[in-house]
């Protein structure tokens, strides 16, 4: 009985031992395939393979079976083939890390570029704000900024200190300020529009323009500056022309305060009144002018050779008066 019991016990122990041994070997084999063997385990496996035929046979069988499972697992994942490398594009779309990662990176790059671009544009417009826009261009119209001159185009954005030049009698530019004030600028003429810290200035350097100005904000009038004068515009339709010796301002509707640059003398010019400002002290009388039918029609309300000739006539009168005064001054010996 005892013998039988010992045999059974021995058999059980043997089976247990074999089972444990098999499990230990399997763990060793798995470590080999995962590449996590340390030096001692590597030596142990090497010795087992060299000197233990059972383990060697077990290892070979284990390896072949493992290869079968790897191949089947690869087929399940859709990535194993008879030849060739792993086809990552065979992965389901939701698991396609390559596409997902690249798409995310591209989206991040695009978003970054958009933000940088947006900031750059904002900074550019902040540094070079739009003060006006060319609504219409006829003939030869040029814009100059610093030393660069370009032919103007319809819709051109005008920034502060940019000069507009209209060449030729047939040429014309229609300009809209930011507040929708409208300026008709026929040839030949040159003007510049500036805006600094909310102060808007139209510098009429040569020629003439007609304008319908919107009502300006309180305390922030628009200024028209010529070589001889400075006019404060509060919301007016007017015409203004300048020559090297005189400036004539005609107010169609509204109120303009004009100041002579020579001595700072100023005059208020109301609707249907005009003033001529020259280089001499006597050239600043405010007078009534008549707005006849021949002055109306067309763009800006003022056009036609008759109006222009009357305007020019007034300026010629002023110029002649100025020349006579100069001659008298020279004859008298400069006293």
Partner 1 sequence: MNRLSQTEVMKQAFQYESALVSYAYSLCRDWSAAEDIVHEAYLVLMEKWESYSPEYSVYTWVRKMVYFKTLEYLRTRSRAIFSGDNDLFESVRVAMEMEVSEEAVNRYVMQMKHLDKCVEQLGSGAKDVLVSYYWKNQSCSDIAARLKRSVNSVWLSLSRIRKSLKECVERYMKNQPGEIAFGTISLGSGDE
Among 80, 136, 144, 321, binds partner 1 (CB under 8 A): 80
Residue 93 Cβ, how far from partner 1 at the closest point, in Å?
Answer: 17
Tokens of 246: 């005189």
Residue 34 Cβ, how far from partner 1 at the closest point, in Å?
Answer: 7
Q: Does 74 bind partner 1 (CB under 8 A)?
A: yes
Tokens of 164: 């507009």
Among 40, 76, 197, 218, binds partner 1 (CB under 8 A): 76
> Residue holding tokens 């261009």?
137
Q: Does 94 bind partner 1 (CB under 8 A)?
A: no
Question: Binding segment for partner 1 among 12-20, 84-92, 152-160, 282-290 (CB under 8 A)?
Answer: 84-92
Other beta carbons within 10 angstroms of residue 282's beta carbon come to: 8
Q: Does 60 bind partner 1 (CB under 8 A)?
A: yes
Q: Does 128 bind partner 1 (CB under 8 A)?
A: no
Residue 43 Cβ, how far from partner 1 at the closest point, in Å?
Answer: 8
Q: Does 64 bind partner 1 (CB under 8 A)?
A: yes
Strands 222-225 and 199-212: parallel
Residues in the chain: 335
Q: Does 79 bind partner 1 (CB under 8 A)?
A: yes
CA distances from 234 to 132, 193, 196, 220, 269 (A): 18, 17, 18, 8, 12
CB closer to partner 1, 67 vs 292:
67
Residue whose C-alpha is closest to residue 164's, from 139, 135, 192, 196: 192
Contact between 275 and 269 under an 8 Å Cβ cutoff? The reply is: yes
Q: Does 65 bind partner 1 (CB under 8 A)?
A: yes
The greatest distance separating any two alpha carbons of the chain, rounded to the nearest whole angstrom, comes to 162
Residue 62 Cβ, how far from partner 1 at the closest point, in Å?
Answer: 9
Contact between 165 and 189 under an 8 Å Cβ cutoff? The reply is: yes
CB closer to partner 1, 67 vs 109:
67
Close Cβ partners of 265 (under 8 Å, ≥ 6 residues apart): 259, 281, 284
Which 17-46 residues touch partner 1, going by CB under 8 A? 32-35, 37, 39, 42, 45-46
Close Cβ partners of 238 (under 8 Å, ≥ 6 residues apart): 210, 211, 213, 249, 250, 251, 252, 254, 256
Among 2, 82, 94, 332, binds partner 1 (CB under 8 A): 82
Other beta carbons within 10 angstroms of residue 75's beta carbon come to: 11
Contact between 225 and 197 under an 8 Å Cβ cutoff? The reply is: no
Question: Binding segment for partner 1 among 73-81, 105-113, 181-189, 324-332 (CB under 8 A)?
Answer: 73-81
Which 129-168 residues touch partner 1, going by CB under 8 A? none
Among 77, 114, 270, 327, binds partner 1 (CB under 8 A): 77
Q: Which residues bind partner 1 (CB under 8 A)?
A: 32-35, 37, 39, 42, 45-46, 49-50, 56-57, 59-61, 63-77, 79-86
């Amino acid at each position: 009985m005892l013998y039988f019991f010992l045999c059974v016990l021995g058999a059980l122990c043997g089976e247990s031992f074999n089972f444990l041994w098999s499990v230990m070997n399997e763990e060793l084999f798995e470590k080999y395939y995962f590449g996590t063997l340390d030096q001692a385990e590597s030596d142990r496996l090497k010795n087992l393979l060299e000197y233990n035929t059972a383990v060697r046979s077990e290892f070979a069988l284990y390896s072949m079976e493992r290869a079968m499972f790897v191949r089947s697992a690869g087929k399940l994942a859709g990535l194993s083939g008879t030849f060739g490398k792993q086809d990552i594009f065979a992965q389901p779309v939701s698991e396609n890390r390559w596409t997902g990662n690249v798409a995310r990176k591209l989206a991040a790059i695009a978003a970054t570029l958009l933000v940088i671009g947006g900031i750059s544009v904002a900074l550019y417009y902040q540094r070079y704000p739009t003060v006006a826009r060319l609504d219409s261009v006829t003939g030869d119209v040029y814009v100059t900024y610093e030393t660069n001159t370009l032919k103007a185009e319809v819709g051109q954005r005008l920034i502060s200190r940019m000069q507009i030049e209209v060449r030729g009698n047939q040429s014309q530019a229609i300009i809209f300020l930011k507040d929708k004030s409208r300026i008709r600028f026929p040839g030949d003429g040159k003007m510049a529009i500036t805006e600094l810290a909310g102060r808007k200035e139209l510098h009429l350097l040569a020629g003439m323009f007609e304008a319908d100005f919107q009502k300006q904000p309180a305390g922030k009038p628009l200024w028209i500056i010529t070589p001889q004068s400075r006019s404060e515009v509060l919301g007016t339709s007017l015409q203004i022309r300048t020559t090297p010796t005189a400036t004539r301002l005609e107010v169609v509707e509204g109120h303009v305060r004009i100041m002579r640059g020579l001595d700072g003398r100023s005059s208020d010019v109301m609707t249907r009144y005009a003033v001529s400002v020259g280089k001499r002290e006597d050239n600043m009388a405010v007078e009534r002018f008549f707005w006849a039918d021949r002055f109306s029609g067309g763009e800006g309300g003022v056009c036609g050779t008759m109006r222009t000739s009357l305007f020019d006539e007034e300026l010629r009168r002023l110029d002649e008066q100025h020349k006579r005064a100069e001659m008298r001054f020279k004859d008298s010996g400069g006293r």
